[in-house]
A and B are shown apart, each in its own frame.
Chain A
Amino acid sequence: MSEYRIQGATGEWEVVIGLEVHAQVTSKAKLFSGAATAFGAEPNTQVSLVDAAMPGMLPVPNRECIRQAVRTGMAIDAQINKWSRFDRKNYFYADLPQGYQISQLYHPLVGEGYLDIALDDKDPENTKRIGVERIHVEQDAGKLMHDQHPTMSYVDLNRSGVALMEIVSKPDMRSPAEAGAYVRKLRSILRYVGSCDGNMEEGSMRADVNVSVRKPGDEFGTRTETKNVNSVRFVMQVIEYEANRQVDVIENGGTVDQETRLFDPDTGTTRTMRSKEDAHDYRYFPDPDLLPLELDDAFIAECRESLPELPDAKRHRYENELGLSAYNAGQLTADVDVYQRYEAILAATAAKVGKSESDVATQVANWVLSVAPGVKNATEDADEANDTTAANAGIIALSAAGTVSGGQAKEIYEIVLKTGREPEEIAETEGLKQNSDTGAIEAVVDEVLASNADKVEEYRGGKDKLFGFFVGQTMKAMKGQGNPAVVNEILKAKLG
């Protein structure tokens, strides 16, 4: 990644980016009430008296939400604070029933950590370390709907009180691409840990994008915060737009206002958020309904022990123990779904062929990363349910044993996807097998050489290129079912 610079009238500008990512904690019940968190329910059906801030209602924290935030902190090598506290952030808004959000300002649950982002897909070792300032736990707000009634907005509190982790980065990013890589890496880690499903479309993850510009080497400029940006692409667009807008403002003699902005995905632009204009004074203070949160050693130990192998560690292991290329290892470990599929198929394949995982790792990696997705994309009436670990392993095993050719493997996979039939059975009944019988191949080769004596003469005279001709003739005679390796071997021997 080369340095990202905005070309202004007065020269080059550097952009400085920090992200506050709000990630919905995976939990069944809300942070401070027993109402459910499931997405997409009827309005106000997942709202308890507590969430609606009825008089006299009180918060009691959900252990699982705390646990997930702690595990997330551990996954980014962050400091876990055994003593933390909830504070109230006071402001008035229709999606905020209590008139305050229970959050953590002064003593967050998780302190400083970091994550390493890849600057180049092809070279996962080329990384940049992005600091994480803190992770705190807080309540989500409800939802306002503006287009249901001419003069009214409608309030749905189903999300109100759902647990969020606010993951605050340091202003360490310098380009839209770095910010994109950061969000993707963070999402990957959250999904590995299981603390957030990372579903940006459903709002499980959204970013507040802090952007400022400066002349390279200068002090930080004034930043704007664009709220609730809900895709990686939009995060990058916001940065692009804001950086250019700010440069324009400054170069035209203006100053950048420190303000909250909204992103409009339709136009790719940002604008001042009117409703939050006067909300600067949040009057934070410790929530008197909640005692300080103290974590004991057993709790912390359980969090640590329950952490899975994380993306970077897994990638290194794939390279060092399985012998995968850096690129493949990076691709396979980028997301939970991919590595889980890979590891399942790898184990099944190794068992099937009676070899170690490292012996078949590369073959399985190629299958999972390129062969299988290619076939799948081309197969219109594929049934996802047919795409089982056993079927995939079965096809790879057939291929590894030389029973089927690469092309045949693809054909078998296509039939598997459509019908769910067994790969071995398909190979058998559909004739999708290659012939490795040396006797039979020798007979065909003898015939081919006999009927092309002139070419054999030329070959032996030094026309090496003719080797391919013999292979082609042999394969043709065998209707494409000859095992190419065996064919090659026999031809080599016979031609001397």
Chain B
Amino acid sequence: MSVDKATVAKIASLARIRMDDAACDAMVPELNQILGWVEQLGEVDVTGVEPMTAVIPNTLRLRDDVVDADPLTGGGVRDKVLANAPAPEHGFFGVPKVIE
């Protein structure tokens, strides 16, 4: 499979990366080179092979239902949460107006 400019533009839009015409043009051969190369994976016989889920055998731990048990992963830290915000507004994050 190879990508064309329209596909590159569509992917860029999905990835929310603004890309002008020239950038899309430049990206086409780069992506095709890489995609052409990774496609050799198609040769591998994977019959009966499950896709890897856990690289090291380990099971998912579940935590107890306790609020703010660890301050690093608990709430009540609005100052920290907003500390780097480009447009903090009255305790909210400000973004350009959205029309739903």
Question: Which A residues have a C-beta under 8 Å from some C-beta of B?
Answer: 27-29, 33-36, 42-52, 54, 60-66, 85, 92, 94, 144-146, 148-157, 262, 273-275, 278, 281, 283, 286, 290-294
Could you say which of B54, B77, B93 contacts A291, with CB atoms under 8 Å apart? B54
Question: In the complex, are the beta carbons of B60 and A153 less than 8 A apart?
Answer: no
Bound together, the chains give a CA A52 to CA B74 distance in angstroms of 11
The reply to whether B62 and A274 form a contact with Cβ atoms under 8 Å apart is: no
Q: Are A153 and B95 in contact (CB under 8 A)?
A: yes
Segment at the A interface, from B1-9, B27-35, B39-47, B80-88? B80-88
Contacts of A27 in B (CB 8 A): 65
Cβ-based interface call for B72 (8 A): yes
Least CB distance from A121 to B in Å reads 37
Closest chain B CB from A180 CB (angstroms): 26
Sort A-B residue pairs by CB-CB distance and give the 6 closest, nearest first: A35-B75, A64-B65, A154-B92, A63-B62, A34-B74, A155-B93
Q: How many Å lie between the Cα of A47 and that of B78 in the bound state?
A: 7
B60 touches A61 (CB 8 A): yes
Please name all residues of chain B whose beta carbon is closer than 8 Å to the beta carbon of A274 when the two chains form the complex: 99-100
> With contacts A34-B70, A44-B92, A60-B73 known, what are 9 further pairs, Cβ within 8 A?
A29-B69, A34-B74, A43-B78, A45-B76, A60-B62, A153-B96, A156-B92, A262-B100, A291-B59
CB neighbours (8 Å) of A151 from chain B are 96-97
CA distance A278 to B12 in the complex (A): 13
With contacts A28-B65, A36-B67 taken as known, whether A292 is within 8 angstroms of B54 at the C-beta atoms is yes
Question: Would you list 24 pairs from A and B whose C-beta atoms are within 8 A, ordered by A residue?
Answer: A34-B70, A35-B76, A43-B90, A44-B81, A44-B92, A44-B93, A45-B91, A46-B75, A47-B81, A48-B77, A60-B62, A61-B60, A64-B64, A144-B98, A144-B100, A146-B99, A148-B90, A148-B92, A152-B96, A153-B97, A155-B95, A278-B13, A291-B53, A294-B59
- Max chain A CB contacts within 10 Å: which of B14, B66, B90? B14
Separation of A150 and B60 alpha carbons in the complex (Å): 46
Which residue from chain A places its CB closest to the CB of B60 in the assembled complex?
Answer: A291
Q: Name which of B74, B82, B99 has the most chain A CB atoms within 10 A of its CB.
A: B74
Interface size bucket, B side?
35 or more
Please determine whether B63 and A61 come into contact, CB atoms closer than 8 angstroms. Answer: yes
Q: In the complex, are the beta carbons of A62 and B63 less than 8 A apart?
A: yes
Q: Name the B residues within 8 Å of A66 (CB-CB).
A: 62
In the assembled complex, which residues on chain A have CB atoms less than 8 Å from the CB atom of B14? 281, 283
Contacts of A51 in B (CB 8 A): 75
Q: Shortest distance in angstroms between B92's beta carbon and chain A's nearest beta carbon?
A: 4
Partner pick for A152 among B64, B65, B67, B94, CB 8 A cutoff: B94
Contacts of B64 in A (CB 8 A): 62-64
| Nearest B-chain residue to A61, judged by Cβ | B62
| A60 vs B24: C-alpha distance when bound (angstroms) | 39
A48–B89 Cα distance when bound, in Å, is 18
- Given A294-B59, A294-B60; A94-B98 close (CB under 8 Å): yes
- Give the residues in chain B near A44, CB-CB below 8 Å: 78, 81-82, 91-93
Contact A29 B87 (CB under 8 A): no
The CA-CA distance from A85 to B53 in the complex, in Å, is 9
List of A residues within 8 angstroms of B63 by Cβ: 34, 60-63
- CA gap between A36 and B62 in the complex, in Å: 17
- In the bound complex, residues from chain B placing their C-beta under 8 Å from that of A148 are 89-90, 92
Q: Is the CB of A290 within 8 A of B60?
A: yes
| Residues in chain B near residue A146, CB distance under 8 A | 97-100
Report B-chain residues with C-beta under 8 Å of the C-beta of A144: 95, 98, 100
Inside 8 A of A275's CB, which chain B residues have their CB?
Answer: 98-100
CB <8 Å contact, A46 and B94: no
- Give the Cβ gap from A194 to chain B, nearest Cβ, in Å: 13
Which residues of the partner chain A approach B95 to less than 8 Å between Cβ atoms?
Answer: 94, 144, 152-155
Which B residues are in CB contact (< 8 Å) with A52?
81
**B84: nearest residue on chain A (CB-CB)?**
A54
Output the least CB separation between B98 and chain A (Å): 5
Instruction: Give the chain A neighbours of B93 by CB distance below 8 A.
Output: 44, 94, 154-155, 157
Residues of B contacting A34 with CB < 8 Å?
63, 66-70, 73-75
* Bound form: Cα–Cα A66–B60 in Å: 12
In the complex, whether B18 has a CB less than 8 A from a CB of chain A is no
Look across to chain A and name the residue whose beta carbon is closest to the beta carbon of B88: A44
B24 vs chain A, min Cβ distance (A): 17
The answer to whether residues A292 and B53 also contact, given A28-B67, A34-B66, A61-B63 and a CB cut-off of 8 A, is yes
The residues of A that contact B99 with a CB separation of less than 8 Å are 146, 274-275
A351 to B87, CA, bound (A): 65
Bound-state CA distance A45–B75 (Å) is 6
Q: Please tell me which one of the listed residues A29, A43, A157, A273 contacts residue B67 in the complex, with CB atoms under 8 A apart.
A: A29
